Each structure stands twice: as structure tokens, then as C-alpha cells.
Chain A
Amino acid sequence: MELLKVNNLCKTYGESEVKVNALKNVSFSLEKGEFAAIVGESGSGKSTLLNCIGALDTPTSGIILMDGQNLFSMKEEERTIFRRRNIGFIFQSFQLVSELNVEQNIMFPLLLDYRKPDPKEVDEILNLLGLTERRYHLPSQLSGGQQQRVAIGRALITKPKLILADEPTGNLDSKNSQDVMDMLIKASRQYQQTILLITHNKDLTVSVDRVFQVSDGVLTDLGGNGNETLS
């Protein structure tokens, strides 16, 4: 079942002489529960693509359908609520709320939805992420790996259909990087979530279902296993 469909997506920055075509007619689709990775050089347009898919940025042209719905035909408020409920974000720099503890950070999207978090679900995620002991710690009291795990927990709590992860291991060592990947795969399998991951690290694409490469704004579908294809 198709969850995400991107059709002829273009994104242009600037005008005339300083015009930059960050994305050129990008088209692809993802199935429900699929784990895909996007690789590419720095400045190739990976993050721009992810930002457009997550409606954090507005594309210049093209269509993005998420579960059959066009995010950009929605009003700002409606789009925000849709994103909050259906898309989970994981950033390279974690972007945790420094004023909230681990538990509150994980519950944050639910709290924004004015929903009462189910303590069992919160415990389950804390347990899954190995953060039960640290549930009342502030982000500043955690290591980088722990902070990224909190960010993953936050992306999982609403059980979103799509998780967008922008270099989630970029600030982590290899051990923590692998832990994060394992967790994402586990989530993808356990909750049937579609995951789109951006990474520099080709080693991390070993365990994903599909790999895309972005180069100068052009997306190429590399098929089943990135490493195999790339090699």
C-alpha cells in the first residue's frame, strides 16, 4: 500500500543569477512499512527533499501526497496538526526541548495535541529506548546517544505513519549510531512505520529496504540495497 508519493518535485532558491535548483523533478513513492535511505553529497539536496516531504519547507512545484492527502492544499493549522499526528521527525542536532525532561520530551507531540499520554505506552517506549532510568533527566544531563534516543521516542509516541530522520547518527559515534539504526529498524518492523532516512554513512544503508541517491537535485532510485548497488 502506497503511503508517500512524490511527483515532479522542484525546489528553487533565489532568482536570476543566484538561482539554485535544489531539487529537479524528483519523483518516487514509498510503501507502508518501507525503510528507505537517501544518500548524497553535502549540498546535493537531501535535506531540502526531506524538509519538503515533511512540509517544513514549501516546494516550488510538484505534488507530495501523504496517505493520499496533499499537505500543501491544507491550511497552516490543519497541516501542522496532520504533521503532528502522522509524521515523526528526527534531527541530527536532536532538537530536544531543553526545558522538558526525558519523559516530557517524548510525550511532547501528544501534549501539543492536548491528549493525555497513556503511561503504559510511555513506559513501553522508554523501555524500548533504554531510558527508563533517565526518564526525569533533562536533555543537558544526557549523552549525545541518549539524547538521540529521546528524539526517536518523541518521533514514535504518536505512532506516525511516516518517520523522517535527517542524519540521525551524524553527531554520534559508531556504537551509538548502530544502536539508533537498530531502534529505527525495530520500530519500523514493530509499528509498521515507513521510515525515510538521510545519511552520509553508506554502512548504515545495509539494513534498509531501499536506497535513493540525490546528486545536484536529481534523485536516482538505487533499488533494494544501497551498499550492493553502490559497490
Chain B
Amino acid sequence: MKHYLDLVPISAKVHRKQNRMSIFCIILAVFLITTIFGMADMFIRSQIIQAKIENGDFHITVQGITDEEAGLIKKRPDVKAAARYGVLNFNDDKGYTILDKKSIIVGADEEFVTQLQMGVINEGNFPQNDNEAMITKNARENLGLQIGDTVTIKRPGEPELSYQISGFCNNTSKIMSEDAYGVFVTTSAFREIDDIGDSTVLADHNMVLFVQFTKTYNIQNTINRLKEDCNLSEEQISENTKLLGLLGQSSNSFMMQVYISAFVLFVLVLTASIMMITSSLNSNVAQRTEFFGLMRCVGATPKQIMKFVRKEALNWCKFAIPIGIITGVLIIWILCALLRVLSPEFFSAMPIFGISIPSIAAGSAIGILTVLLASCSPAKKAAKVSPLAAVSGNAINLQPVRTAANTKFFKVDTALGIHHAKSSRKNFFLTITSFSLSVILFLSFSVAVTFMNHVLTPLRPWTADISVISPDNTCSIDRGLLENLQENPAVNHAYGRMFAYDVPLMVNDIDKMTDVISYEQKQFDWAEEYLLSGSVQAALDEENTGLIVYEPQSAVNVGDIVKIDIQGRTTEVKIVGMLSDCPFNNAADVETIICSENTFQNITGQSDYTIIDMQLNRNATDNEVNTIRQMVGTDVTFSDERMGNESTRGIYYCMWLFIYGFLAVIAFITVFNIINNISLSVTARVKQYGAFRAIGLSMKQLTKMIIAEALTYTISGAVTGTILGLIFHKLLFGMIISYRWGDPWAIPWTELGIIVLIMLFSIIFAVYRPVKRFQKMSIVENISAQ
């Protein structure tokens, strides 16, 4: 030993047990920060990827400008890429078709495809002249086209347009869902399609300018400068709200509310970590005070003790911070890998072994700062202790006792347990604050679940991957096709529906209109979940019965007999049940009646389907889908919803994983925080427990005493946490839910129940270990334990 600080590693070896728990607390706190910040970082990264794939990699669009102004904007140093973009026949308003399929024509500058969108080109190039076009790859598969072939677009009442194919681009969910084709042409070719002439105003050609800025920070300043320099009004600029929001650059008022909420959660996580470390270090203050007092006794100055403590704390950090960070990073890697497995189409760009620098920096900084701050307290306390008291050999007596335990209301073991918890006000405050923060964090983060349920609709059990639809919505799809499809190995489920729209209906002498829809067994099973009253089975089994879908102004009730009139043929149908909802839209004041296929045939005389839905096997290939397409022929609309479903699934998995991941981390931290705190508290009293045992305290009574102490902390923490947690929950709910969707706030009983149960459950683990340890110890070992 050359320096007094060399005592630090020696002391660490001797006090390994006490230090182990403090180190564990630091690990937990660093893990919490690294994981939550890392998860947030990865979540934002994944969402940015998704936003760029789905909406494009642009920051704003500018409308109402001329080509010259667009050129000037493009040349600005703060603009990385800009491209003009326009679309025709988006909603089938112009009736453009390629071989009778709807065709959407997009005119754009090449940068739009190469820089402002992600992964558009599948094969070949963007058109290099006005005679060329790029077409979606579904056209290649359906029409057998190749690069260099000519594609012709028919326009009702106008000359046909012919282009040579320069390349193929990837399909979009809209294209696939509507069984349409998309065609990319150059801006000049696009302008030749309509008859506006040579106007240089973008709006005349139904075009806007897409802009991507060089820097992804201070975007609002860049937008303001652009507005000033180019005399643009507020209305001329539209933000890509989703991308800017994820980049933290949105001026959208809802996004501002989301940012504030994220900041509140950030502060809560920070506070939880700081409290966790501080309460841990304060819990073993008695043992540390004795040790520091001894050092004072042998001549150490308070300043030297402070240095000693700091060095000791930094030594803990050397070990604890890397472990906390590594554990956090591992969890993040697992989540990223899960995302890639669950939705490879969307998250293949996400690195499995991604490193989140902000989370590591935050974890390290918070760990070191908190430990240094928290470690000052015992040192200050040690400096105040008289050397005599410090070396008296009984550290417990250093804790000032103000009042006697109340043995009137509780048995002495319980009374002492409660009193132990409350004996040091500071320690009690820190412990219940750290416990209550778990409840506050859990309740606050649970608002994100409501948020998720609002922004995302998960795929329903009946969601189809592919639908074969009658083009005129009549019962014109042969029943035999359904049987063929059911036998196809790529098809998991196939089921048909017959529709009769706007059919006259009479109920209780009131004339109304109704849509009649047929279900088969599978669809009736799914409808069971929405049954408000009556019986779904009856509608399936009994002919001339049906289910009514709830409408506020509906005239039909369960038990009514309705008369449905089709082409002079009247059928009486008994309503045997009411559903709260169904997957179909209906016009205002039109009822929806769902019945079995037999009943439908009785009512309409029709036996063929309007729609056949298919759910494919998970590993169904594009080739298999093409085979199905060829099987169903070209007379029907072949709606391929797989891309849209995949997108929905991807977003849902991602959000689900991260939000429930946050909640799981909080729950996990809660359990360990409670276990560690109780363990620290018990360790600080181990000699006292030994004395109690010598006097006659049984193990059962000791267990009761520790449970009483743990319960005092937990109940106080849970009550404080519930009060504050509900306040935070209400605040955040108001900011991101009520503000946007107007939902009234209600007490989140389920979430509250879960976290309180987790806390109470943790006590079992918290008490089990120390009690087991005491059981193995003789009383003498217990009294003389270090």
C-alpha cells in the first residue's frame, strides 16, 4: 500500500457482500436507462425506415410554384434533393386502363424515384425520354412484359398512350389492393398527357415539388428561411409529418404534445434511476458510516473520506456501468432480431447488432453522476460522526431512534418490522420514492398502449390476403371456384360471401332498405365475438333467420320478423341475433342483415358469390399467388392485400414489441428494485436480527418482521405511486389521447392492478432469500456477521 486510497480495493474485497448490492443497483439503473433509451432509439429508427418506405424520404412538399422557382429551390445548398411529382387517375376519375385494369400514371423527375423514395426500382431504369415508362412489376407478371416492350394506356374519349418499358418498379399496397397498374413517366411526358399546354406552374399540371433537406436538424428554421427567400405562404408548404415527427422536427401541434409526453417519460426514467441508486447507497449507510468513522478515528480528514468514497464509487462504476450497458444492449439486440423475424420486409434494414450511442452515453453519464452525487451523503454523515461512536462496534445504534415502536396495535415482531422501515426518515422517503416511481413509470407508459390501439388497427382474424371480387358487385363468381381454391395448397382458408345491396325491407310496417350478406360457418364463428344478443348458431342452423348489425337508428330488433322483397319475391326472415359490428360499410339508414347461404338463396334466388376471400399460408410464394390469379381469370377483380397486411402487421409488431417491452422492463426493474432494497435493509440489520434471535425471536417471527418491513415500504410506495401515477397518467392521457381522439380519461384499473400485484409478488422473492440465509446461519454467526 503506497497511498491511503489503495485501501479502496482492499476494503471492497472485505465488504464484498454489502458492495455487491450497491453495484447491483447501479447495474439496474444503468440497464434501465440504456434499455429504455436504446429501445426508444431503435423504435424511432425502425419507424423512420418504415416512414421512408411507406411515405417517402422527403421532408416537405411545396405547391403553387413555377418550374423556375422549383429549379431555384433545388439548387439551394440546404436542399439535398428536390423533384416534381404529379399523379393522374389516382381515384380512377379518368378511367385510364391497361388491358381493362385501372392504371395510375405518375409523372416525376428522376430524383423522386432515386432519392426521395426508397427502393422503388425493381429492374431497369427510370424513363430517360418522353417515350419511355416504368411500370409496376405486377404488370410484368400479369401481362408477361419485359424491358423494351411497349405498353399502351387506354383513355376514354382520348387517344391511347404508348410507351416503351424502361424498367419495372415495386408494387405498392394500393396498387395491389385495387388490382391496378402504376406507370412512371418523365415530367415532360406527364405534362403532354393533359391539355394544359406549356404552363410552367406546377399546380396546372397537378404537380408539387418534393424536397429533402441536407440537414435533418433545425428543419423548421430551414423551412422558415425557404419561405422568406422564395416568398412562400404557410399553405404552400406541407410537412411530411410522420418523418419530421420521428426526426423530432415537426411543428405539428399533436407531435408537440407527443414530444412533451416523451420528455415527461424521459424525466421519470431519469428520476427512477437516480432514486434507485441513491436509495441503495443510503440503505447501507450505517455500515459505511461505521467504517468511515473508524477511518476518521485513525486520522483521516473529512476531505480524505470524501475522496475515498468517490474513488470507491467510481470503482463500482467501472464494473457496474459496462455490465448495465452490455445487458441493455443485449436486450435491444434481441428486440431488433425479433422485429426482423416478425416483419422481415420492413425491418431488414435494421441492424441486429445496432448500437444506440445516445442510450449508452445516457446510461454511462447518469450512472457516474448519480453514483458520485449519492455517495457524498454517507461520507458527509461519516464526517459528522464522533470517532468514539463510530468505533463502538454497533453501527445500528448510529441510526438515531426518535420514537419507540408501537406495540399496542401490532404484535411485537410486526411492530418492529414497521418501525424498521420508518426508523430513518430519509431512507424511508428514498425507498418509497423509488418504489412509487415504478408505479408512476408503469402507469405513464401504459398510456402508450392506448395510443397504440388508437393509431393502429391490428389485423382481424378474418382479414383476407387475397380477395376475388365481382367487378359489378353481383353474385357472379362461380361457387365451384371456391372449392377449387380451398384445394389449393397455398390457401389456408377460403370463404365466400354473397351480397345483395339496397334491398327493400319491411319491419313492423316500416319500409326500409337493407344489405343482405351471406356467411358460412367460419365467418359465423368470427361473428360470435360481436354478438350483443340472440344466437349466431340459430342463424347458421335455421333457415330464413338472420342477424342484424347494430345501428343507432335501426328499426329492427331481435325477435322481429322482417319481410325482404326482391324482384317481387317476398321472404320472411326472423331476426335471431344482433351483432355490434361487422367488417362491411353500409350507406346511411340502410340496415345490414347477415344470414346463412341457404337463407340468402331463399331470399335472392342467387347461389354464386360476390366475393371470395383467401387467407394464404405464411410461406405462400408470389408464383403460387400468380397461379391462383390465373385460375380465377381476368373477369374478376383480383385484390392482393398482402402488402397492406404486411405493413399493418409490421407497424403493429414494432409498436407492440417496444411498448410492451418498455412495460416489461419497468416491471422487471420494479421486482429487482424491491428485492434489492429489502435485501439491503435486511443486511444492514443482520446483527440486530442476531440479537433478537438470541433473545428468543423465532425464524417465523423474523420472517414476519421482514415481511412487515417490506410491506410497509411497498404499500407506502404503492399508495404514493398510485396517487402520483394517476396524476401523470391523466396528464399524459390528456396530452396525447384526449387531445387527438377526445377519449375521456378513466382510472386504468387493470394497469394499476398489474403493477401493484407485481410489487406485492416481489415481496415473496425479496423476503425469501434473506430468510433462507438466516436459517443457514447460527445465531452467533448472525450476531457477529459483517
CB proximity of A36 to chain B, nearest CB, Å: 20
A56 touches B779 (CB 8 A): yes
The answer to whether A57 and B778 have CB atoms under 8 Å apart is yes
A99-107, A182-190, A194-202, A210-218: which lies at the B interface?
A99-107
Instruction: Give the Cβ gap from B126 to chain A, nearest Cβ, in Å.
Output: 81
| Contact between chains at A76 and B699 (CB < 8 Å) | yes
Which A residues are in CB contact (< 8 Å) with B699? 76-77, 80
State whether the Cβ of B405 lies closer than 8 Å to any Cβ in chain A: yes
A108 to B415, CA, bound (A): 12
Does the CB pair B400–A140 fall under 8 Å?
yes
| Complex contact A140–B694 (CB within 8 A) | no
For A91, what are the chain B residues with a Cβ–Cβ distance below 8 Å? 691, 694
Partner of B407, one of A89, A93, A104: A104
In contact, B698 and A54 (Cβ under 8 angstroms): no
B404, A99: Cβ atoms closer than 8 Å: yes
A80 and B693 form a contact (CB under 8 A): yes
Q: Mark B753-786, 1 if CB is under 8 A from A, else 0.
A: 0000000000000000000000100111101000
Contact: B404 with A114, CB < 8 Å? no
Chain A interface size, as a band, is 20 to 34
Q: Which one of B393, B401, B778 lies within 8 Å of A138 (CB-CB)?
A: B401
Cβ of A5 < 8 Å from any Cβ of B? no
A97: CB under 8 A from chain B?
A: yes
Q: A99-B416, A111-B412 are in contact. Are A80 and B696 (CB under 8 A)?
A: yes
Contact residues of B with A, CB < 8 Å? 393-394, 396-397, 399-401, 404-405, 407, 411-413, 416, 419-420, 423, 688, 691-701, 775, 778-781, 783
Chain A residue nearest in CB terms to B698: A80
Separation in Å of the A146 CB from the closest CB of chain B? 15
Given contacts A84-B695, A98-B397, A112-B701, 15 further A-B contacts (CB under 8 A): A51-B780, A56-B779, A77-B699, A83-B696, A108-B412, A108-B695, A109-B696, A111-B411, A112-B412, A112-B697, A113-B696, A136-B404, A140-B397, A140-B400, A140-B401
When chains A and B are docked, how far (Å) is the Cα of A98 from the Cα of B400?
9
Contacts of B701 in A (CB 8 A): 112
A30 vs B401: C-alpha distance in the bound complex, in angstroms?
40
Task: Write out the residue numbers on chain A whose beta carbons fall within 8 Å of the beta carbon of B416.
Answer: 97, 99-100
Question: Out of B401, B694, B700, which one reaches A54, CB within 8 Å?
Answer: B694
B698, A98: Cβ atoms closer than 8 Å: no
| Subset of 21 A-B contacts with CB under 8 Å | A51-B779, A56-B694, A56-B780, A57-B780, A58-B778, A76-B698, A76-B699, A76-B775, A77-B698, A77-B699, A77-B700, A81-B696, A84-B696, A85-B696, A91-B691, A91-B694, A98-B399, A99-B423, A100-B416, A101-B404, A112-B413
Taking a contact as CB atoms under 8 Å apart, the answer to whether B780 and A93 are in contact is no
**Which residues from chain B contact A95 at a C-beta distance below 8 Å?**
691, 694-695, 783
Q: Are A98 and B396 in contact (CB under 8 A)?
A: yes
What residues of chain A have their CB less than 8 Å away from a CB belonging to chain B? 51, 54-58, 76-77, 80-81, 83-85, 89, 91, 93, 95, 97-101, 104, 108-109, 111-114, 136, 138-140, 154
With a cutoff of 8 Å between Cβ atoms, the chain A residues found around residue B775 in the complex are 76
State A109–B701 Cα separation when bound (angstroms). Answer: 12
CA distance A154 to B783 in the complex (A): 18
Cβ of A138 and Cβ of B700 under 8 Å apart? Answer: no
- CB-defined contacts of B691 to chain A, threshold 8 Å: 91, 95, 97
Q: How many contacting A-B pairs (Cβ < 8 A)?
A: 93
Instruction: Provide the residues of chain B in CB contact with A112, threshold 8 Å.
Output: 412-413, 695-698, 701
Q: Is the CB of B404 within 8 A of A138?
A: yes
Residues of B within 8 A of A113 (CB): 696
Q: Hey, which chain A residues are within 8 Å of B396, CB to CB? A: 98
A114 to B423, CA, bound (A): 23
B285 to chain A, nearest CB (A): 16
With the chains together, A85 CA to B694 CA distance in Å?
Answer: 12
Given A84-B696, A114-B411, residue A99 in contact with residue B779 (CB < 8 A): no
Task: Tell me the complex Cα distance, A51–B404, Å.
Answer: 29
Report yes or no: A109 in contact with B407, Cβ–Cβ below 8 A.
Answer: no
Q: How far is the CA of A77 from the CA of B703 in the complex (A)?
A: 12
C-alpha spacing A91/B700, complex, angstroms = 24
Q: Which residue of B lies closest to A54 (CB)?
A: B694
Give bound CA distance, A132 to B401, whole Å: 21
Query: Chain B residues near A109 (CB, 8 Å)?
Result: 695-696
Whether A111 contacts B778 by the Cβ 8 Å rule is no
A80 to B541, CA, bound (A): 72
> Does the CB pair A97–B778 fall under 8 Å?
no
Considering the chains assembled together, what is the distance between the CA atoms of A139 and B692 in angstroms? Answer: 15
Contact A80 B778 (CB under 8 A): no
- Chain A: CB-nearest residue to B420: A99
Question: Knowing A109-B696, A112-B412 touch, does A99 contact B401 (C-beta < 8 A)?
Answer: yes
- A95-B687 Cα distance, complex, nearest whole Å: 9
In the complex, the chain B residue whose C-beta lies closest to that of A113 is B696
| Closest 9 pairs between A and B when the two form their complex, measured CB to CB | A84-B696, A111-B412, A95-B691, A56-B779, A80-B698, A57-B780, A101-B404, A99-B405, A99-B419
Contacts of B781 in A (CB 8 A): 57
Determine which of A55, A76, A83, A100 lies in contact with B404 in the assembled complex, contact meaning CB atoms within 8 Å: A100
Q: B413 contacts which chain A residues (CB < 8 A)?
A: 112
A202 CB, nearest partner CB in chain B, Å: 25
- For the complex, what is the distance from the CA of A77 to the CA of B704, rounded to whole Å? 14
Q: Which residues from chain A contact B404 at a C-beta distance below 8 Å?
A: 99-101, 104, 136, 138
- CB contacts (< 8 Å) of A54 on chain B: these are 694
Which of A80, A83, A100 is the most central at the interface, judged by chain B CB atoms within 10 Å of its CB?
Answer: A80
B residues near A85, Cβ cutoff 8 Å: 696
Expressed in whole angstroms, the minimum distance between the Cβ of A156 and any Cβ of chain B is 13
Tell me, rounded to whole Å, the shortest Cβ–Cβ distance linking B390 to chain A: 15
In the complex the two chains form, what is the Cα distance from A222 to B416 in whole Å? Answer: 44
Bound Cα distance from A54 to B420, whole angstroms: 27
Say yes or no: A98 contacts B694, CB within 8 Å: no
Residue in B401, B407, B779 whose CB lies within 8 Å of A98: B401
Q: What's the nearest-Cβ distance from chain B to residue A160, in Å?
A: 10
Interface centre among A56, A81, A136 (most CB of B within 10 A): A56
- Give CA–CA (A154, B691) in the complex, Å: 13
In the bound assembly, the distance between CA atoms of A140 and B394 in angstroms comes to 12
Specify which chain B residues have a CB less than 8 angstroms from the CB of A100 in the assembled complex: 404-405, 407, 416
Complex formed: what's the CA distance from A80 to B350 in Å?
Answer: 62
Task: Report B700 CB to chain A, min CB distance, Å.
Answer: 6
A109 to B699, CA, bound (A): 14
Alpha-carbon distance A85/B698, docked complex (angstroms):
12
Shortest CB-to-CB span from B684 to chain A, Å, is 13
The answer on a CB contact under 8 Å between A93 and B393 is yes
Question: CA separation between A55 and B693, bound complex, in Å?
Answer: 11
For B423, the closest partner residue in chain A by CB is A99
- With the chains together, A81 CA to B423 CA distance in Å? 28
Q: Does the CB pair A89–B694 fall under 8 Å?
A: yes
Interchain nearest-CB distance for A186 vs B (Å): 22
C-alpha gap A2/B400 in the complex (Å): 45
Assembly CA distance A95 to B696 (angstroms): 13
| Cα distance, A76 to B700, chains bound together (Å) | 10
